[in-house]
Structure 1
Amino acid sequence: MKMVITNTDLNDILFERDLPQNFKSDKAYTESNTAIFHPKFGSSDIEDLWFEGIHITKGQTRIKEDISLKIESNYSVFEMHFTLSGSSQATTLGSKEIFRFEPQQHNLIYTKDFEGYFNFSKQEDLNNFFEVHFTEDYFQRFMNVENTVLDKFLNGIEKRSMSAMKEKNMAITPQMNLIISEIMQCKRSGLLKRLFIESKVIELFMLQLAQFETTLKEKKEVMNFQDIEKIHHAKYLLEQNISNPYTLIALAHEVGLNDFKLKKGFKAIFNTTVFGYLHDLRMEKAKHLLLEQERTIKEVADYCGYEYVQHFITAFRKKYGITPGKLQA
């Protein structure tokens, strides 16, 4: 199962990876780290982890100049792709179809003997991605899941070398970001780590399917591109101001929409309300701070914008069914 990445300008190989058939490992799992430096395009750190049926890769790349990379692989996988930051676009050889990813977007993609190009523009911010690859054999276990979108996707991949679940990428939710963070920061080892990661990967996949299915059932009002961009900016502002959030009217004014259009558009795009999203964001961040950074309950309550600690404890218990204190015990 080989992949080769070549710089199309100079035709030199930047990265080459040859993984075992079906991602088999003679241990609970296998890990590898690769650092790439190129004087023109920049640098990249790639971390891989695999065990039979599943391969996880995460990368952090700094793009110094516009660059086109040729990608070649000799295997087929179902790929859960998450662009955490930065942007990119891909094309397959012999096709005019373009697959674009912007920050905080995800999709489910099928690739078979992929041969094509990834194009990156010079970017000030790091380009971060997280991917989970399922072999076709492993993915068979999901075939009996009753999901209209999945059925349509599987029926449409037979004659194509690359296919995406949705024509338009979906927004990564706070819950998805939390699961990705838990996978990347897992401190367990051996079989326990493998079981933890596998369970989280399946949970992440089910969240993807649920989001895809929900958007199919909803009839959304057609919005112009400018309004969609403004609503995505509103989401970004919420994420950057957890401790001191905007009021709805202030947020709408900041992005240049009226509050009705912001509320309706936000619900249509992200399948949640403005303050429902903020609440979930706060709770996911609170859980992370309590578990991973061992902050005090008072510190976390303050960070999440709660004036009274008891109000934070009540909200946290309602969300997770456990108090912050018991979670840390």
Structure 2
Amino acid sequence: MHIKSKIEGFEDWLFIEELPDTFNAGTPLAEKRMTIKRPPVQEFSNYMLSSGGVFLMHAKMQFTQPATILFEIEGETINSQFIFYDNIPANDDKGNKKARGGARHNIRYIPSLSGKYELTKGVSYSYFLVVLSKEYYFHLINKDSILHADFVEEIKNGKYTSISAKDLLVSHEMRQIINDIVECRKTGELKRLFTEAKILELLMLQMEQIQHDQLSETNTFTPAEQEKVEHARDLLDEQFVNPPVLPVLSRLVGLNEFKLKRGFKAYFGTTIYGYITRLKMEHARHLLIDKKLTVREVTYEVGFKHQSHLSEAFKKYYGILPSEVKQ
């Protein structure tokens, strides 16, 4: 398969990749990094990884003027796509301007295709893409698996298709896996095995959410309500140490408490309280291991009033006391 992309108006291609259509576990990994600093680019960094039948890209970009990304794909590919964006101007209920963000994902079958993405000036984009040859995809997930039966039928017909009719919200677990892939410091064969395992894990999370969405009440939420649920998640990401109580959070995002609780559980697979707890526990573990803080120090850093409360929550979440964590 042949993949290439460029910024419209630029002479040089961002990347041109020739990858075998066949799966070959013996193909060594190739890694590349690039940055661009020239108008109208405000920020552009790109990490790329390729091997036999797989191409992975993580790009961060922002432009001072509207921009267009051109791409070409030759050959049959399955694409796992994630796009994160913020600083999008929007109006609140009072007509005031405020920044909004979001994150969406989908899995697509793309035969040979040329296309383009229109990017808004001033918006910060983060794009994570995994391109798999058809053979590599079926190496990861059996062709006869019920997980993607309808998707496989469309692949057999050679038609461009998405596994989900609409792009879905990116979960915390998906974000973590993407970060694990991008930040991996392993090399050689270990990195290849690690990356493949994480790609499979990511695909499974996507398919699990897609199946849940097809059966759940998320289909009753309008796009505007969906954005409000996602906005609530973003606020909790920023303020989990001292999070707003439910009535305040409900007012901040403009969605009633009942629908906010129901939508949060439907989209992210956990309650608002469970999500806050997860963020607190993961941050506590990071402070204990990476920052070498004491349990007493961590208690206040993650928003607990008493050390015993942290210990109880940590033991329930991880199965060990924070004092037992090896630094």
Q: After TM superposition, list the pairs within 5 Å mapping 1:135-284 onto structure 2.
A: 135-141=133-139, 142-143=141-142, 146-148=145-147, 150-159=148-157, 162-220=160-218, 222-284=220-282
Alpha carbons 2:105, 2:169 under 8 Å: kept = yes
Q: Quote the offset at 1:87 in angstroms.
A: 9.3
2:53 corresponding residue in structure 1:
53
1:99 corresponding residue in structure 2:
none
Q: After TM superposition, list the pairs within 5 Å mapping 1:280-295 onto structure 2.
A: 280-290=278-288, 295=293
Instruction: Write the letter of the residue equivalent to 1:197.
Output: T
Instruction: Write the letter of the residue equivalent to 1:128.
Output: S
Deviates more, 1:126-135 or 1:276-285: 276-285
Deviates more, 1:183-192 or 1:263-272: 263-272
Q: After TM superposition, list the pairs within 5 Å mapping 1:19-58 onto structure 2.
A: 19-22=18-21, 28-58=28-58
Secondary structure in 2 matching 1:71:
strand
Alpha carbons 1:87, 1:103 under 8 Å: kept = no
Secondary structure in 2 matching 1:129:
strand
Find the aligned partners of 1:87 and 1:188 in 2 and give their Cα distance.
Answer: 34
Q: Quote the offset at 1:37 in angstroms.
A: 3.9
Find the aligned partners of 1:326 and 1:145 in 2 and give their Cα distance.
Answer: 45
1:55-79 deviation per Cα after TM superposition (whole angstroms, max 9, x unaligned) = 2211111222112232112233212
Secondary structure in 2 matching 1:245:
coil
1:18 corresponding residue in structure 2:
17
Q: Quote the offset at 1:6 in angstroms.
A: 4.3
Q: Quote the offset at 1:233 in angstroms.
A: 1.7
Secondary structure in 2 matching 1:198:
helix
2:82 corresponding residue in structure 1:
82
Find the aligned partners of 1:187 and 1:6 in 2 and give their Cα distance.
Answer: 28
The gaps in structure 1 that reach 5 residues or longer are 89-101
Instruction: Write the letter of the residue equivalent to 1:64.
Output: T
1:119 corresponding residue in structure 2:
118
Alpha carbons 1:243, 1:303 under 8 Å: kept = yes
Find the aligned partners of 2:194 and 2:220 in 1 and give their Cα distance.
Answer: 41
Alpha carbons 1:83, 1:128 under 8 Å: kept = yes
Distance 1:314 1:80, change over 3 A: farther
Normalising by structure 2, we get a TM-score of 0.82
Q: Quote the offset at 1:28 in angstroms.
A: 4.2
Distance 1:44 1:262, change over 3 A: same
Q: Quote the offset at 1:11 in angstroms.
A: 7.2
1:69 corresponding residue in structure 2:
69
Distance 1:84 1:53, change over 3 A: same
1:20-62 deviation per Cα after TM superposition (whole angstroms, max 9, x unaligned) = 4248697642211122344234442111112323322111112
Q: Quote the offset at 1:230 in angstroms.
A: 2.3
1:168-213 deviation per Cα after TM superposition (whole angstroms, max 9, x unaligned) = 2221111221222122112222222222222222222211121111
Q: Structure 1 residue 312 and structure 2 residue 318: aligned?
A: no
2:97 corresponding residue in structure 1:
none
Alpha carbons 2:27, 2:52 under 8 Å: kept = no
Q: Quote the offset at 1:267 in angstroms.
A: 2.5
Alpha carbons 1:2, 1:16 under 8 Å: kept = no
1:268-294 deviation per Cα after TM superposition (whole angstroms, max 9, x unaligned) = 333332222222333344445555555
Alpha carbons 2:84, 2:104 under 8 Å: kept = yes
Alpha carbons 1:174, 1:281 under 8 Å: kept = no
Find the aligned partners of 2:155 and 2:79 in 1 and give their Cα distance.
Answer: 13
Find the aligned partners of 1:295 and 1:204 in 2 and give their Cα distance.
Answer: 32
1:145-185 deviation per Cα after TM superposition (whole angstroms, max 9, x unaligned) = 7445x212222234455322212222111122122212211
Find the aligned partners of 2:296 and 2:54 in 1 and give their Cα distance.
Answer: 40
Number of aligned positions between the proteins: 313
Distance 1:186 1:314, change over 3 A: farther
Secondary structure in 1 matching 2:102:
coil
Secondary structure in 2 matching 1:21:
coil
Q: Quote the offset at 1:243 in angstroms.
A: 0.6
Identity %: 27
The gaps in structure 2 that reach 5 residues or longer are 89-100
2:96 corresponding residue in structure 1:
none
Find the aligned partners of 2:83 and 2:235 in 1 and give their Cα distance.
Answer: 19
Distance 1:249 1:274, change over 3 A: same
Q: Quote the offset at 1:326 in angstroms.
A: 5.0
Find the aligned partners of 2:319 and 2:290 in 1 and give their Cα distance.
Answer: 19
1:233-285 deviation per Cα after TM superposition (whole angstroms, max 9, x unaligned) = 21211111011111111111222233222212322333332222222333344
1:92 corresponding residue in structure 2:
none
